Amino acid sequence: MNKGLIVAISGPSGVGKGTVTAAVESKLEGIRDVAHSISVTTRAPRGSEQDGVEYYFRSKEEFEELIEAGQIIEYDEYLGNYYGTPAGPLAKMAEDGKVVLLDITIEGSLALKEFFGDDAVTIFLAPPSMEELRRRLKGRNTETDDVIERRLTEAANEMKRSGEFEYILENHDVDETSEEILKIINKESR
């Protein structure tokens, strides 16, 4: 019987965290009990996002009340909004032998490692190069050149912190990267 494992994945905007996380979750289906942690955020829903599906959308006051009540295990600020992981479900999932993947900020991943120790593993996804990251961000066609430059500056700072993670993977290809993560999960949840 494998033990539960919290898999905290961080990396710069545009590196492909969301796609890789989804690929790992689908590869694990039927093999391991996979759970999804829904974060709380103060940012407004985007497009078709629904409360309780992508995030729990809360006001700043409500978010602060959750922190005071000890219901948020870690939280971080990103572009002026709070994002936090609810404490209860995550602790329960880890006990139940489930694999829980989270796509969170650097501070978030490090905080979960501090809290859960051997029950958590931290993975940093790096782009093959800064040029490739610039190409991917431009390819999304959703941000202005100015926003792309700011994200790239942020990315350069984030890259300097990759050494604080247990694993660093260069994301050349979603399939290859998700296979690498599966190997890490197998090794770390024994």
The answer to whether the beta carbons of residues 37 and 49 sit under 8 Å apart is no
Q: How far is the CB of 101 from ligand 5GP (least distance, A)?
A: 11
Interface mask (CB under 6 A) for ligand 5GP, residues 60-79, using x and -?
Answer: --------------xxx-x-
Q: How crowded is residue 156: how many other Cβ atoms within 10 Å of its Cβ?
A: 12
Nearest CB to ligand 5GP, comparing residues 18 and 176? 18
Contact pick of 21, 39, 177, 189 for ligand 5GP (by CB under 6 A): 39
Nearest CA to 16 out of 183, 189, 180, 163 is that of 180
Dihedral sign computed on CA atoms, order 135, 141, 143, 144: positive
Q: How many residues bind ligand 5GP (CB under 6 A)?
A: 14
Contacting residue, 103, 119, 158, 188, with ligand 5GP by CB under 6 A: 103
Q: Which of 4, 16, 84, 127 binds ligand 5GP (CB under 6 A)?
A: 84
Given a contact cutoff of 8 angstroms between Cβ atoms, the answer to whether 114 and 166 are in contact is no
Our CB check for ligand 5GP shows the closer of 28 and 111 to be 111
Check binding of 165 to ligand 5GP (CB under 6 A).
Answer: no
Q: What are phi and psi of 61, to 5 degrees?
A: -65, -45
> Which of 81/186 has CB closer to ligand 5GP?
81
Cβ-closest residue to ligand 5GP? 108
Instruction: Write the secondary structure of 84-148 as one string of H (helix), E (strand) and C (coil).
Output: EEEHHHHHHHHHCCCEEEEECCHHHHHHHHHHHHHHEEEEEEECCCHHHHHHHHHHHCCCCHHHH
**178 contributes a contact to ligand 5GP by CB under 6 A:** no
Q: Does the footprint of ligand 5GP cover residue 57 (CB under 6 A)?
A: no
Q: Does 42 bind ligand 5GP (CB under 6 A)?
A: no
Q: Are 72 and 62 in contact (CB under 8 A)?
A: no
Assess 104 for contact with ligand 5GP (CB under 6 A). yes
Q: Which among 115, 105, 112 is positioned nearest to 76, based on CA atoms?
A: 105
Helical (H) or strand (E) element with 82: strand 81-86
Residues within the interface to ligand 5GP (CB under 6 A): 39, 43, 74-76, 78, 83-85, 103-105, 107-108
